[in-house]
Amino acid sequence: MTRNWPELDYLGWRETCSALHLYLQIAGKYRLAHTPWLNHSWNATFYVTPIGLASSPIPDGPGIEILFDLREHRVVGTCGHGSRAYFDLGPTTVAKFHASFVQLISELGGTPTFNGQPNEVPYPIPFAEDDRDRPYDREAVQRFHQALMAVDRVLNRFRTSFLGKSSPVHLFWGALDLAVTRFSGRRAPLHPAGIPALPDDVAQEAYDREVSSAGFWPGGNGIDYPAFYAYAYPAPSGYRAATVRPDAAFWHEGLSEFVLPYDAVRSAADPDADLMAFLVSTYEAAADLGGWDRALLECAHGQPRQVRPPDAALANDAPSVGGEKVEREDGASKGRYRIVVDDVEAEMTYSRAGDGLIIIDHTEVPAALRGRKIGEQLVRQAVEDARRERIAIVPLCPFAKAQIDRHPEWQDVLQQSSLDPKTVGTSDTASTSATTSPRRPS
């Protein structure tokens, strides 16, 4: 666990991190200046490799690729003519790094022209004029790379369970975050933009479709520790109040995002599982409350050498919708509804709050049962039982709430206070807010 998820002391290597951030911006802006625009700034990012961070080929001159080798601590450039050039990473100034990078591109036959102003950093100084001495902590950089490798592994596995439009797992040098984004397939309202040191048109293009996004920061951006984040744009009503996992995750009011400290994942018995729980639960909150077509967009997590069954085959093999038996296990304080199909179980759990109220707190439908409206049947059964027993329901579970919202004929069983607009409004103030932590280049 320690080897795969190293200790990251942001405050201890903050100055080196800031320097590395600016160096990546210089290389990233070069890539951005010479690469055709790809939706949501995907043409500007870096990718995690076992060696460090790579740009992929840049169509300038003979074709150039930039690698930040974080093991040998050097910037390496290669080109289509077979040439290779590099310079070492170490204590220096941003201005000297900028000059070395310009020389490297020239040696490879490229054109070292790009925007010379940093983005998404406080008090930006043009790269060529930043003469402040910067440290370089080699061990801290290596630990950061180890962490990126671990995070990249989990984010890429998370990405395999989505059939809709999804970004690659890539590092945005604007805010120095490793991110993956899922899309509902629908247009989003025009982003309000106004992000400091980021052109409005870049922010608005980045968020012109509904998204659920998650990623990792080494620190900064309003927090002084490494952390994972998750947000939705536009944030659906009730999103900030959604129950997410693991227990260490929380809603950060300043960022308007869910946050999970890196140390909570690193110290967990199974770090990969805890991070996956955060990714899945925050996505499900956005998708359920936002009314995404999950049956169309999702699939089981990918496995090596196992081809995903096509949807047509799944539809032919699936039993008729609505024919499954819903079972109920009811206790004095807690209970659950369950459906078992081909030895695969789906469940919806609830808690009792007195004699006349149940609180639906979680719904779990395995990927193998998606697309059969299993979750809808569980909620329908709870509604029918509530009517018969003359009790009310509070749907804290985002999925159950979304189902009841879609069926006005079920809403007679809701606890009346949950329908009070004043009550709803107090928990939904972020329903139209944009993310306050920009991650896009310019």
Contact 86, 76 (CB under 8 A): yes
Please choose, from the candidates 230, 185, 243, the residue with its C-alpha nearest in 3D space to the C-alpha of residue 363: 243
Residue with tokens 């592994």: 153
Distance CA 29, CA 173 (A): 9
Run means of pLDDT, 10 residues per run, the chain, 442 residues: 81 97 98 97 97 97 98 98 97 98 98 95 94 98 98 97 96 97 96 87 95 96 94 96 95 96 97 96 94 88 87 54 80 93 91 91 85 86 93 91 87 70 37 43 45
Cα–chain center distance at 381:
33
Contact 87, 75 (CB under 8 A): yes
Return the number of other C-beta atoms located less than 10 Å from residue 45's C-beta: 27
Distance CA 27, CA 56 (A): 12
Count of all residues that appear for the chain in the document:
442
pLDDT at 68: 98
pLDDT at 48: 98
The amino acid occupying position 294 is R
DSSP type of residue 384: H
Please choose, from the candidates 181, 144, 151, the residue with its C-alpha nearest in 3D space to the C-alpha of residue 68: 144
Distance CA 328, CA 224 (A): 46
Distance CA 150, CA 275 (A): 10
Return the number of other C-beta atoms located less than 10 Å from residue 418's C-beta: 16
pLDDT at 322: 55
Task: Please report, for residues 38, 163, 271, the alpha-carbon distance to residue 159 in angstroms, rounded to integers and kept in the order given.
Answer: 19, 9, 17
H-run or E-run covering 358: strand 357-364
Please choose, from the candidates 18, 113, 100, the residue with its C-alpha nearest in 3D space to the C-alpha of residue 58: 113
Cα-Cα end-to-end distance for the chain:
37
Contact 150, 125 (CB under 8 A): no
DSSP type of residue 22: H
